[in-house]
Amino acid sequence: MVTLGTPDRSGRGPADWFEAVAASPRPAVVDYAAGEDRVELSGRVLANWAAKTANLLDAEGLGAGSTVAVDLPAGWQPLAALLGLARAGVGVVFTAAGAATDADLVITDDPSAWEASPAELWAVAPEDGQAPAHALDFTAEVRVQADRCPLPVPHGDLVAQSAHWADDAADGTAGVTDRAGTGPARWIRRERGLVVAAQGERLHRGLAGAVLQAWAAGLPVVLVPADHADDDGAARIVAAERLGGLPGEGGPGGR
C-alpha cells in the first residue's frame, strides 16, 4: 500500500497533517497527463512545493483571512499549489476564466483572461507563454522560496482545510464516482489511490476534496491522460501503479 505518512521515532506518528504528508518519500502525485514523461512527486517533494507556495503567499501579504480564486487545470503543479493554499490557511474559491470575483488573489494558467481583474494575479505556466506585465510568474517565484514554512500549521486535519472552500464554476461537484460503469467518471477512488482523468479537467471543489481525502488517507493521486478514469489506457496505468481494485465491490463506494 502506498502511504504518505510514517511514524516518527517516538512511535506517536506525525505531529500534524502537513508533517504526515511530508514524512514519507513514497509517491503522493503521479502525473501521466503532463506530457510524454511520467512525473512523480513524493510526499516530501509535494510538501516542499506546498511550503514554498505558503511562503510566497506570506511574502505577498496573504494568509488567514485572505481569499484566493483558483482557475487551474488538474496537474501536478496546481495540486502542489492546492496543498500550499491549505498550508497557508487561506480561503479558496474555484472559478472560471475571467469571472467576476472579489478574491484578493487569482491563480491561473490563463492570465490574459484576468487582465482587467483588480485582484493580484499569479500566472502558472500559461499555455500561450504570455502574461500581463503586472502578473507574478508563479513557477519562477515559487522556486526561490524556502522548502520549509515557519507559519503555524492550520488546526484540524487535512480534509478540514477545504471545509469552507467554494465554487463559482458550474461543475463544482460533477464527476464523482467510485465505481467503473456508473457513468463518465472524471475520477475514481481505487483501493490504493485516486485516479483522475486530467485531460481537460479543471480544479473545482469536488475534485479538490477528493484529492485532499486521498492524501489524508495516505494514498497517491494519479493523473491519467484520458477522457474517463476507467478506460483502457487508465486501466494500464492503474495496473502499473498497483492501485488495486474499486472499493466496496459489494456495493457503491463512499463519495
Distance of CA 208 to the CA centre of its chain: 6
Q: Reduce the DSSP state of residue 58 to 3 states and report it.
A: helix
In eight-state DSSP terms, residue 220 is -
- Separation CA 46–CA 89 (nearest Å): 17
Sheet holding 39-42, edge to edge: 39-42, 27-31, 221-224, 193-197, 187-190, 176-177
C-alpha cell at 128: 500561450
- Separation CA 191–CA 188 (nearest Å): 10
Which CATH fold would you assign to the domain 17-174+183-241?
Rossmann fold (3.40.50)
In eight-state DSSP terms, residue 126 is -
- Separation CA 218–CA 223 (nearest Å): 16
Contact 107, 70 (CB under 8 A): yes
C-alpha cell at 54: 505558503
Question: Which residue matches cell numbers 502558472?
Answer: 124
C-alpha cell at 45: 517533494
Residue 234 is predicted with a pLDDT of: 92
Rounded mean pLDDT for each run of 10 residues along the chain, 255 residues in total: 35 72 88 88 96 98 96 95 97 92 95 92 82 90 96 92 84 42 74 92 94 94 91 92 81 34
Helix-helix angle 76-88:43-59, to 10 degrees: 60
Residue 4 is predicted with a pLDDT of: 35
**Per-residue CA distances from 49 to 3, 36, 145, 193 (Å):** 19, 22, 9, 21
Contact 21, 49 (CB under 8 A): no
Residue 37 is predicted with a pLDDT of: 86
Contacts of 177 (CB under 8 A, 6+ apart): 183, 185, 187, 188, 255
Spans of all domains in the chain: 17-174+183-241
- Separation CA 121–CA 172 (nearest Å): 22
Residue 171 is predicted with a pLDDT of: 46
